[in-house]
Amino acid sequence: MNKVLTTASALGLVLAGMAGTAWAAPDWSKVPVRKVAVFHPGASGMEWVMKGTEHGGAKGTKKGERCIGCHENEKTLNIDIAADRILAGEKLEPKPVSGRVPIIMVNVQAANDGSNLYLRFNWKEPSGKATVMDKDNPVKLAVMFEDNKVIYKDDKGKEVEIGLAAGCWATCHTDARTMPGADDKKTKYVPGGSLANGTYFDLIQWKSGKGAKVDGYVADKRVMEGGKALVSAEGKKDGDSWTVTFTRKLAGGGEGDIAMASGKTYNMGFAIHANHAAGRFHHVSLGYTLGIDAKADITAAK
């Protein structure tokens, strides 16, 4: 009897100790904010990005230069992209959609506690009444991570570390569904993508309709399940502002989950489907680096 009580008492002390050291979400008021512009991209897949006769930055990209190097003003963080002309259908958009805004400014924050990565996105809801494409979800937000392994080969076979240069743009191609004349069944993909060799993007998403969370990946195709790293994905609207937060286990643990470690940097991009948007009619970011206790465009410090 005494032995049972002693064992129970010991177990109680262990559980109490675990509860006392349980990690909590960060105090976001103390976490640095990185302002990031997301914009309507039109039908500009990677094939267009890498084609010099259509995209003036193709030459630089093939040399390994990053998209934000030319398109983001280092001081003001303004984006130099003709997103208004794209939205109006003047270029890269055969199906202009009225009621949408070309650019949304997003406050991005990141932190970690040694076990979990925390991400927070906050933005003002765009004004205007746009065509409803996804009736079930007024907003969706997706984030993709890449472990410095995704390579793009140009028409001459030159290899470019495209995950670093362009972020999740590396998964967007002109033959994927919702692109003009493309196969409606073909999803986002990474050329030569494979979980086995690490050539893929880790994907997490929050959907506003039912508060649903998605934990998947993009390799040779997009798979919206299989991951086990995403602990929670939560979002809410307060007045005219949306806030979405993710809690993700650094260690990963599931199919397509990238194992993240302190001192390392990863490539990241994100997209917001605002105003009931669907498919490629989202607003997307350029590629950014995410550092876990390491200097990067966005640093997740303890």
Rounded CA-CA distance 42/4 in Å is: 67
- Residue 250 burial (CB < 10 Å; 0-12/13-18/19+)? buried
Residues present in the chain in total: 302
Q: Which two tokens stand for residue 245?
A: 């937060």
Residue 29 in any domain: the answer is no
Q: 208-262: per-residue pLDDT in tens? A: 998 899 999 999 999 999 999 999 999 999 999 999 999 999 999 999 999 999 9
Q: What is the pTM of this model?
A: 0.91
Q: 56-102: per-residue pLDDT in tens? A: 999 999 998 999 999 998 778 888 999 999 999 999 999 888 888 99
Rounded CA-CA distance 276/97 in Å is: 12
Rounded CA-CA distance 121/234 in Å is: 11
Q: Which two tokens stand for residue 125?
A: 């809801």
3-state secondary structure of 174: coil
CATH code where residue 292 lies:
2.60.40
Rounded CA-CA distance 268/159 in Å is: 20
Q: CA 290, 188, 185 angle in degrees (round to 5)?
A: 160
Q: CA 203, 72, 165 angle in degrees (round to 5)?
A: 45
Residue 54 in any domain: the answer is yes
Question: In the chain, how many domains are there?
Answer: 1
Q: Name the residue range of residue 239's domain.
A: 40-300
Residue 89 in any domain: the answer is yes
Residue 47 in any domain: the answer is yes
CA distances from 226 to 202, 223, 229, 230 (A): 11, 8, 10, 11
Residue 15 in any domain: the answer is no
